[in-house]
Structure 1
Amino acid sequence: MNKSVILMMLVAVLLGCEQVQQENSSAPDQSSQQQQLSPATQQDIDNIANHLNVSFELLSNHPQQKCQANMSDGLCYEAQLTLTAKQDIYARQWQIYYSQIAPLHNFDSTEFTLKHLNGDLHSLVPNDNFTGFKAGESKVITFRASYWSLAESDMMPNYIVTGNKLTARVIESTRAKIDADTEMEFVPYVKSYTDYQRQMKRTANDATPWLDSLGFYQRNLALGDELADVSKVIIPTPKSVTYPENKGKLSLASGLKIDFGNVAKAEVNVALERLAALGINTRPSGSLVKLNVEPDSKKVIGSYRLIISKRGIEITGVDSAGVFNGLQSLASLYQIGQDFVPYLSVDDQPLYEFRGMLVDVARNFRDKDFIIKLMDQMAAYKLNKLHLHMGEDEGWRLQIPGLPELTEVSSRRCLDFSEQHCLLPQLGAGISPDSSVNGYYTVEDYQEILRAATARHIQVIPSLDMPGHSRAAIKAMAARYQKYSQLEDNDKAEQYLLHDLNDITQYSSVQFYHDNTINACQESSYAFIKKVMSEVQKIHADAGQPLTRYHIGADETAGAWLASPVCQNFIANNDQGVTEMSQLGAYFVERVANMLADMGIEPAAWSDGLEHTHKENMPAVVQANAWDHLPWGAHQRVNELANRNWQVVLSIPDVTYFDFPYEADPKEHGYYWASRRTNTEKVFQFMPENLPAHAEFWLDRQDNPYVADDTIQRDEQGKVIHQPLQQGRTFLGVQGQLWSENVRTDNVAEYKIFPRIIALAERAWHKAKWAVPYNYAGYKYSQNTNIFTEQMQAERDQAWRIFANTIGQKELTKLDLAEVKYRLPTVGAKIAEGKLYANITFPGLTIQYQQNNGSWQQYRGPVAVTGEVQVRAVTSDGSRAGRKMSVVIE
């Protein structure tokens, strides 16, 4: 090869290298650009918080081929998070923390890593491939998470962005907002669910209807076209009412003159205050009201007689609670704007001794004013038990003298991974310790609640859940351990420790926590419980309402304790008859129940925590809250507990869980694991004395028929595994539940509770004539049996018509006066031949309509309309509206 050829080759190589260098300088590779991203500064964190738009879109509820097979039965939904930057974001080493009730299965992204951390808390972190955001640029992350998403309220607010040793901020686009018309919270970063097949159905077999305005209209037709006469209606319905032949009326225009007889004014003052709030004051010139207590051992406490005649009003109770209830019945008779009540005679007593409402203030806090306001309405409808749920995974809400860490640490959620100052921000809590979802009752606050309850003839049953659902307590005592360990006071550090420091057990609770179960083998666990219960007992005593019943919770976490050295040693060396880890849950419940009994306190607990206990090891009196799903055989567990002669309180989720939606619609707020549609009518239809009979007219959670077999059943060895209730066995009562995982405001809480609680009170107080009696011989119910006859159905539906009219014409106006933010029902409507026809679940409520986004007008009857038409309900004073619906043309 000659020199000229070699020279030419060298020139070509050099030219090629120069071209490659030019190309590289004009388009740097990904690793080079990554190096250009600087570690995030506080300014970057603030920029991301203020200028990163987050958007969530549900893609499908059944992408099974993409789900993780070993999670949630291989079921998942698929969704997209879209991140759009309004300004440049060229920073690395930042993280986003967000709440998602269903844990992550997997994700698709080259630039971000998603991870489930604990409970509902997840992280989103830019990885080494992250190239930053140009202004206006969007990046899409597709992910799968467990089970389904069927409601827009599934998505939590308050995504948190932070960096190394930087101050965390909430991403503004993820903050919750309040709808100006409904006054309800919503999360604006969630795109509306609009596709029935992809976003409304759980599975191919899901038959749940998504009602439009026409569907609601057709359903409401059963209520008739005319308003019913509700002037003589009392809610809850009395046992017996008679009317005189003259059918007269007593005027209340001049108020009431009270003769207290042998009744202390303090015992009935709250009922008189309610009458005054409705417009009926006490005056010397008013109609005479004679009050009296006449004990009668043959009648249930709270029973009463009410007589209204031309001579005035007489109320006689078997106790002061009975007189109180009689006054509330007078208030129920009264219709605002009509200054009279009919002559009648009422002889009344409750169906159930226990008529309760649970409020979960642990997940998201509700202050004492909310609780007292709620008790006002509970008393109005003769509910007498408040189950106050104050201890959970996400919060501890009661001050306990001597254990300040419980409220100093565990009454607040913020971003502190050490959890020495607050708990992690589960459930979209955000970063502010002063948020309304945080807080606790001081001793004085709680005693004020107790005194208010006593004045309303309500017993407060406190609950601080254990051994599961106890993360808040565990973390508080862990912080106490750290504090005293640093002071080298090991005795105090370990005095109330609730977890085994050397436990490496891996488990997951039903809410996906891996560290929320009190260790059942440590003596310090029981020392803690005794300390807490002693203090709560004293608080009650000092407030004048002795603590006679306490709800343990008794939830346990399957798989906890397996690798705990303390428990392994306990199993190997104990003399308590515990030989297997699977027996520890029952041991814990039995021991705590007897500890309470020794203190003079009756234990209560959830049915799943009680079912493994041995009756002979439990106290004589046990309250069992039965919470199983009807299509999954709830009656079987209920029967087993009742046949133990325990006091069963029906807490059936299908109908008494008020965190569930009113209607099957993605816009309706709430969880839905047992029911997509729990409206007031369904609560009214409940037959608490015969659970299996509901299979004749209710459907499962996918709106398919189910069978409830209440006959004697045996296993292959001939052992009885189910039998009907023993002859004469009954239940102690009924309880409604407001769990609060995604209930962050007082308005949403009241929306959930009201007006369903009125139907709950009806079923707890009054035995419906149309209800199917229980068959102690056993029966197998289905859609093909006909024990609930057509006549019974007709009687029930007519009773519902009167009840619905009473709510619409009388009760909701009273709730307006009390400033209760109840749910306004969705209006039914259609357009036929150019005219709008509308109706509503509660006749008497005001309906409004709107044409082409114009002004809202009151609907008074069929009216000609054009263009796009929407309808909604409004309160009696017009201050608040329900969710609007577009009207379907028939």
Structure 2
Amino acid sequence: MMTLWASAAILAASPAAASQADLDRMAATMGYRYTILTNRPASCPTGTPRCFEADIAITIPDAVPGVPFEIRYSLVNPVLRIDSDLFDNRTVNGDLNVLTVKPGRSLKPGQTYHVRLTAVGAFFSRNHMMPHATLAAPGLSPRVIAATRTGTDAETGLETLPFVAPMTDEAALARSAPDDRTVWRTPERAYALYAERGALAAPVDVAILPKPMTATRPGGPSVDLAKGVAVTTSGIDRAAIAPALTALAVGQGAVPVTIRRQAGMSPEGYRLTVGKGGVAIDAADAAGASYALRSLAQQIAAEGTVLRPLMVQDAPRYGFRGLHIDLARNFHSKAEILKLIEQMAAYKLNRLHLHLGDDEGWRLQIAGLPELTEVGAYRCADLSEKTCLQPQLGADPARDAATNGYLTAADYGEILHAAAARQIEVIPSFDMPGHSRAAIRSMEVRYQRLIAKGDRAGAERYRLVEPGDTTRYSSVQHYDDNTLNVCIDSTYRFIDAVIDDIAALHKAAGVPLTTYHIGADETAGAWKDSPACKVTMAREGLQPQQLGARFIERVASDLAKRGIAVAGWSDGLGHTDPARMPSAVQTNIWSNLHGGGVAEAHGQANRGWKTVLSIPDLGYFDMPYAADPNETGYDWASRGVDSFQVFGFMPGNLAANAALIPNILAQPKPIADTVPLQSGRAIAGIQAQLWSETVRRDSQVDYMLFPRLLALAERAWAKPDWEPAYVAGTAYEPNDARVDRARLLAGWGDFAGRMGVQMRMLDRAGVTYRLAPPGARIAGGRLEANAEFPGTPIEYRTGGTAWRRYDGPVAVTGAVDLRTRTPDGRRASRTVTVSP
């Protein structure tokens, strides 16, 4: 999750002053092109194991004002060196670097200059490049360089980056590691993959997703719901299931639908019976009744309103079935969150983890601390950060840009109401003590405001830094000022104020705050030279690296006193002393399966903590769907997490996933159960994560989540047939025969068969889910094509002619373009090309 901004000072020949109009013209006409050259350079700077090379071509307009200019632009990875006759480079902080013209050099009008960059790591996707490079000059308002603005693809509706050159050379753009087995998902490779996976796919009789425990078809006459329904409830408040009733989309009438609370059923469980002239639902609780109605709505979408008799007995495998959405890195609208809440309910997810505070943004209004949103919710061109945060992650610096903003207290209340009405718990998250730069900078603005008024006590009340702290550190995102000082009282006053305000918002909405996520991950090596921390360490006999754990223990205890359970990411929580932690702890496991995730999950479950699997190589939906330079998403954890990989996950036997899931280098590797799960301990559930560094639009949120969120919902709800029973200490090999691949493929075929109905429902709900491009090959002069989900419409064209529907193998000459379409025909996938 690394991102780098830079700033280039371009000096013209004359010192004459420029006007705002001059700057505007230059921003409107300047050329800008980014090209990734290779991930396999001949050498990297000393001490750097992996690097890549890229080129930025800057074309100077014919008329150049004679004053210094800056071009602020973003890269995904830190710059190691610059190869340029004109420019030098220095790092400022975090994402911000400065390119300066070398002394005695100048830039000429009409010329194109190339800046060759060597940077850390690898660059696998066109979409890692951040947009909105900005032209700035002293005394003038900065302007976005028009060439670097995002575009919108007319066919897919997705964001485009027109200034980024295509990435077409698979050999040059492969990882430099010689043992990396990753290959791009070309149409030919996709064709073979889809053929293997889809061989058993067939139309399904019961379309419910997640798959019920049992579903049978008894005999008897059909039930015609087109006549309208008459709903009666017993033991379950009708208001508690109102959204699920609305989702039926069936009017009032005479067909009886009886809904009753039934003792003795598993929590959230239900029995749905269609037949004998009506519908009967027995449910453990309001959640179970809602889920029964959601299942009924899906079956109506599949069969129509005339339903054959059906009996479904159902209950979830896991009580925690979650979705995490990051609003901090890039803001996403209230409307998008409300839409997602409805889709969560449709697929029986019951925890919404809202990530509302991080380095790049603070997204919830807090009473009494207005700077948090007045400053911390916006990124603009004010590098002094007196009115906003630095322009990170390619955000449009306009204050009204979609990536800027926050949820008002009223917005948050509306979200809480909508979630509670659908039996979804909202878990707010503000990362601390690291990942806190937005809060720190906002509170510094508050400090300066009150100091200017002579109110030193008020200014220092919520200050989050210690002026005398000279510790130098660098966070994962390369900030040197993003970590709260955990040894000063004002830090805890700030945290208390935030927690109490959020608890009050929950209380006002009638939805008590029961879990609060503190993050607690990726804390850099701070505090070593803090005077306050030196006192704390001397008093308690601690080392600097132990201070983070003590901070977590203290905040967790403070939350417990309020009746609120603490939640956090597993790396930070793992450093705490369990004896100093409350009994109620939620830990989100985010280590990879091949990177210690199995031991971490079992170890923290063995502490008695509520252990939620948030594992990146199947649950981080900011990873790309496939290894393809045109797919969006960071790839530090996986080059490809597609719906099949998510669907195949075995949460009840983590080591067994070695049979199906390779490591980051696409290498099949064994997994040993080195820390067995103790008797009586269990995994609490699964959560999907969407971090938003590269996700700027609400439509991209949909694209990254769907359809693989449906696969995760299935795994959180239903135990897979191919999952071997867990035996403590058992190791698994790649392609292990104890994992029944035939059953996996049969299960996938059933899931794929249900996806046709679900895609139609997503279309109606306005969800811009990802359409996988078709697989295709040309064999013997005939085009053969297939889709990830059988039945998805496929179109093709040759030589730029009109698109035609693909209905089966067809004779072609030359290269062929292909794409898939949504069932409603409104959107298309990316276009791919296959050649003879």
TM-score band w.r.t. shorter chain: over 0.9
In 2 relative to 1, CA 253–833 (structure 1 residues): closer, same or farther, beyond 3 Å?
farther
Aligned residue pairs: how many?
826
Q: Does 1:801 align with 2:749?
A: yes
Q: Does 1:81 align with 2:51?
A: no
5 Å-filtered alignment, 1:222-241, equals 222-224=196-198, 228-241=202-215
Given the alignment, which residue of 867, 873, 876 partners 2:823?
A: 876
Residues 291 and 323, structure 1, Cα contact 8 Å, conserved in 2: yes
The one-letter amino acid paired with 2:26 is I
5 Å-filtered alignment, 1:600-611, equals 600-611=563-574
Could you give the per-residue CA deviations for residues 510-561 of structure 1, whole angstroms, max 9, x where no partner exists? Answer: 1111110000000100000011101100100000110011101112423111
Given the alignment, which residue of 760, 768, 774 partners 1:813?
A: 760
5 Å-filtered alignment, 1:365-380, equals 365-380=331-346
Could you tell me how far apart the structure 2 residues matched to 1:849 and 1:872 are?
A: 7
Secondary structure in 1 matching 2:37: strand
Residues 230 and 252, structure 2, Cα contact 8 Å, conserved in 1: yes
In 2 relative to 1, CA 462–198 (structure 1 residues): closer, same or farther, beyond 3 Å?
same
Secondary structure in 2 matching 1:374: helix
Residues 625 and 650, structure 1, Cα contact 8 Å, conserved in 2: yes
Provide the residue aligned with 1:425 in structure 2: 391
Shift of 1:728: 3.0
Provide the residue aligned with 2:251 in structure 1: 282
Could you give the per-residue CA deviations for residues 481-513 of structure 1, whole angstroms, max 9, x where no partner exists? Answer: 101111111110000111111222211111111
Q: Does 1:157 align with 2:131?
A: yes
Q: Does 1:187 align with 2:161?
A: yes
Shift of 1:38: 3.7
Provide the residue aligned with 1:532 in structure 2: 498
Could you tell me how far apart the structure 1 residues matched to 2:621 and 2:199 are?
A: 30
Shift of 1:866: 3.0
Shifted more, 235-244 versus 86-95: the winner is: 86-95
Provide the residue aligned with 1:67 in structure 2: 45
Residues 350 and 425, structure 2, Cα contact 8 Å, conserved in 1: yes
Residues 132 and 394, structure 2, Cα contact 8 Å, conserved in 1: yes
In 2 relative to 1, CA 202–880 (structure 1 residues): closer, same or farther, beyond 3 Å?
farther
Q: Does 1:250 align with 2:223?
A: yes
The one-letter amino acid paired with 1:45 is L
Task: Note the residue ranges of structure 1 that are not aligned, 5 or more in a row.
Answer: 1-32, 712-722
Secondary structure in 2 matching 1:370: helix
- What TM-score, normalized by structure 2, do the two folds share? 0.96
Given the alignment, which residue of 34, 50, 60 partners 1:56?
A: 34
Provide the residue aligned with 2:681 in structure 1: 729
The one-letter amino acid paired with 1:199 is L
Given the alignment, which residue of 606, 611, 629 partners 1:666?
A: 629
Provide the residue aligned with 2:152 in structure 1: 178
- What TM-score, normalized by structure 1, do the two folds share? 0.90
Shift of 1:88: 3.5
In 2 relative to 1, CA 393–663 (structure 1 residues): closer, same or farther, beyond 3 Å?
same
Given the alignment, which residue of 347, 352, 357 partners 1:386?
A: 352
Could you give the per-residue CA deviations for residues 724-759 of structure 1, whole angstroms, max 9, x where no partner exists? Answer: 111232111100000000100011110000111101
Given the alignment, which residue of 221, 229, 248 partners 2:195?
A: 221
5 Å-filtered alignment, 1:760-775, equals 760-775=712-727
In 2 relative to 1, CA 784–450 (structure 1 residues): closer, same or farther, beyond 3 Å?
closer
Shift of 1:833: 2.9
Secondary structure in 1 matching 2:381: coil
In 2 relative to 1, CA 559–416 (structure 1 residues): closer, same or farther, beyond 3 Å?
same
Given the alignment, which residue of 471, 478, 482 partners 1:512?
A: 478
Given the alignment, which residue of 69, 76, 82 partners 1:107?
A: 82
Residues 351 and 426, structure 2, Cα contact 8 Å, conserved in 1: yes
Provide the residue aligned with 2:175 in structure 1: 201
Shift of 1:343: 1.6
In 2 relative to 1, CA 483–34 (structure 1 residues): closer, same or farther, beyond 3 Å?
closer
Could you tell me how far apart the structure 1 residues matched to 2:206 and 2:496 are?
A: 51
Could you tell me how far apart the structure 2 residues matched to 1:116 and 1:742 are?
A: 22
Shift of 1:37: 5.3
The one-letter amino acid paired with 2:85 is T
Could you give the per-residue CA deviations for residues 55-109 of structure 1, whole angstroms, max 9, x where no partner exists? Answer: 111111132623252xxx4321111111112423353411111222211111111
Residues 200 and 666, structure 1, Cα contact 8 Å, conserved in 2: no
Provide the residue aligned with 1:12 in structure 2: none
Could you tell me how far apart the structure 2 residues matched to 1:37 and 1:128 are?
A: 15
Q: Does 1:475 align with 2:441?
A: yes
Secondary structure in 2 matching 1:233: coil
Could you tell me how far apart the structure 1 residues matched to 2:191 and 2:680 are?
A: 43
Secondary structure in 2 matching 1:66: coil
The one-letter amino acid paired with 1:214 is E
Could you tell me how far apart the structure 1 residues matched to 2:369 and 2:42 are?
A: 48
Secondary structure in 1 matching 2:441: helix
Given the alignment, which residue of 786, 794, 802 partners 1:847?
A: 794
Provide the residue aligned with 1:718 in structure 2: none
Could you tell me how far apart the structure 1 residues matched to 2:570 and 2:462 are?
A: 27
Across the aligned residues of Structure 1 and Structure 2, the Cα RMSD in angstroms comes to 1.7
Given the alignment, which residue of 720, 728, 731 partners 1:780?
A: 731
Residues 643 and 725, structure 1, Cα contact 8 Å, conserved in 2: yes
In 2 relative to 1, CA 66–795 (structure 1 residues): closer, same or farther, beyond 3 Å?
closer
Secondary structure in 2 matching 1:479: helix
Shift of 1:800: 0.2
Secondary structure in 2 matching 1:559: coil
Q: Does 1:94 align with 2:63?
A: no
Q: Does 1:866 align with 2:826?
A: no
Could you tell me how far apart the structure 2 residues matched to 1:556 and 1:847 are?
A: 44
Could you tell me how far apart the structure 2 residues matched to 1:685 and 1:768 are?
A: 8
Residues 302 and 317, structure 1, Cα contact 8 Å, conserved in 2: yes
In 2 relative to 1, CA 212–248 (structure 1 residues): closer, same or farther, beyond 3 Å?
farther
Provide the residue aligned with 1:885 in structure 2: 832
Could you tell me how far apart the structure 1 residues matched to 2:559 and 2:259 are?
A: 39
In 2 relative to 1, CA 734–598 (structure 1 residues): closer, same or farther, beyond 3 Å?
same
Shift of 1:313: 0.8
Could you tell me how far apart the structure 1 residues matched to 2:491 and 2:267 are?
A: 38
Could you tell me how far apart the structure 1 residues matched to 2:449 and 2:126 are?
A: 42
Residues 390 and 463, structure 1, Cα contact 8 Å, conserved in 2: yes
Residues 410 and 423, structure 1, Cα contact 8 Å, conserved in 2: yes
Secondary structure in 2 matching 1:447: helix
Given the alignment, which residue of 510, 513, 531 partners 1:544?
A: 510
The one-letter amino acid paired with 1:605 is G
Shifted more, 814-823 versus 867-876: the winner is: 867-876
Provide the residue aligned with 2:102 in structure 1: 127
Residues 637 and 664, structure 2, Cα contact 8 Å, conserved in 1: yes
Provide the residue aligned with 1:139 in structure 2: 113
Could you tell me how far apart the structure 2 residues matched to 1:35 and 1:58 are?
A: 31
Could you give the per-residue CA deviations for residues 320-363 of structure 1, whole angstroms, max 9, x where no partner exists? Answer: 11100100111122235733333222121110000000000011
Could you tell me how far apart the structure 2 residues matched to 1:226 and 1:386 are?
A: 34
Could you tell me how far apart the structure 1 residues matched to 2:90 and 2:57 are?
A: 17
The one-letter amino acid paired with 2:529 is A
Residues 653 and 674, structure 1, Cα contact 8 Å, conserved in 2: yes
Could you tell me how far apart the structure 1 residues matched to 2:197 and 2:494 are?
A: 55
Provide the residue aligned with 1:18 in structure 2: none
In 2 relative to 1, CA 875–556 (structure 1 residues): closer, same or farther, beyond 3 Å?
closer
Could you give the per-residue CA deviations for residues 207-263 of structure 1, whole angstroms, max 9, x where no partner exists? Answer: 11212212111111135579623231321111222332x275433332322223333
Residues 198 and 790, structure 2, Cα contact 8 Å, conserved in 1: no
In 2 relative to 1, CA 420–224 (structure 1 residues): closer, same or farther, beyond 3 Å?
closer
Given the alignment, which residue of 262, 274, 286 partners 1:308?
A: 274
Residues 471 and 529, structure 2, Cα contact 8 Å, conserved in 1: yes
Q: Calculate percent identity across the aligned residue pairs.
A: 43
Provide the residue aligned with 2:468 in structure 1: 502
Could you give the per-residue CA deviations for residues 283-331 of structure 1, whole angstroms, max 9, x where no partner exists? Answer: 223x3211111233xx432111111113211111111111001001111
Given the alignment, which residue of 262, 268, 273 partners 2:235?
A: 262
Shift of 1:853: 1.1
Provide the residue aligned with 1:656 in structure 2: 619
Secondary structure in 2 matching 1:701: coil
Given the alignment, which residue of 765, 774, 779 partners 1:832?
A: 779
Could you tell me how far apart the structure 1 residues matched to 2:807 and 2:216 are?
A: 35
